Amino acid sequence: MSRKEFARRHDHWHENTLKSYEKDRLPDIDYLYLLSKETEFDLRELFDARTRIVLKSVADPEEIEEAIAVMTNTSADADQQQIVVEDNAMEPYIQMGAHCQVDEKDKALTPGNIYCFRFEESFTCRKVHKTLVGRLILKAECDEHLSLELGDDDREHLDIVGKVVSASNFF
């Protein structure tokens, strides 16, 4: 398909913009999406190629691969799980329905971090605080939910999924 035909089919793209993509300008993501639809090129491969070009001057190859894995949700870390939060305990920071990446290796309940817990068949998150006498408090941000103070023996009764690494709220 020619540039002229592509511009005609997608009237918000000017033929000169398409020409600049072929010469020296990196294509915008929306253009890559349309290109993928029109040509059946794999969208992920187009995103990967663009990302490699953009990051090659500021990141080493390992960092580039990790950035691509994060963007495409294909992280090679087998110890991470994606969960959906099913309550509003951490709102406004983590909203009900948010998708969270959880590091299942880290169940240390380190103060200052947010951890995911399984209660029956649902998931919830709490921020870990430490009292002056060394007890842990699992604190919800939303006042509707109670905080839980843990003694030394209480930790074994919790179903700790792991430390929340990232959360995506949907509006």
pLDDT value of position 43: 80
171: confidence class by pLDDT, cuts 50, 70, 90: low
pLDDT value of position 127: 94
pTM, entire model: 0.55
What confidence tens digit (pLDDT) does each residue in 74-121 have?
Answer: 554 556 788 888 899 999 888 888 888 899 999 988 999 999 999 888
**158-168: average pLDDT:** 90
Strand order in the sheet with 160-168: 80-84, 99-103, 160-168, 114-119, 122-130, 136-139, 148-150
Of all residues in the chain, what percent are helix, strand and coil, respectively (each to 5)? 30, 25, 45
Instruction: Give percent of the chain above pLDDT 70.
Output: 94
pLDDT value of position 120: 80
Structure tokens at 127: 């921020």
How distant is the alpha carbon of residue 50 from its chain centre? 19
Q: What are phi and psi of 100, to 5 degrees?
A: -120, 140
Taking the CA atoms of the chain, what radius of gyration do you get in angstroms? 23
158: confidence class by pLDDT, cuts 50, 70, 90: confident
**1-17: average pLDDT:** 78
Most confident of 37-51, 107-121, 150-164: 107-121
Work out the mean pLDDT of the chain and round it to a whole number.
82
More confident residue, 22 or 105: 105
Q: How far apart are CA 171 and CA 89, in angstroms?
A: 17
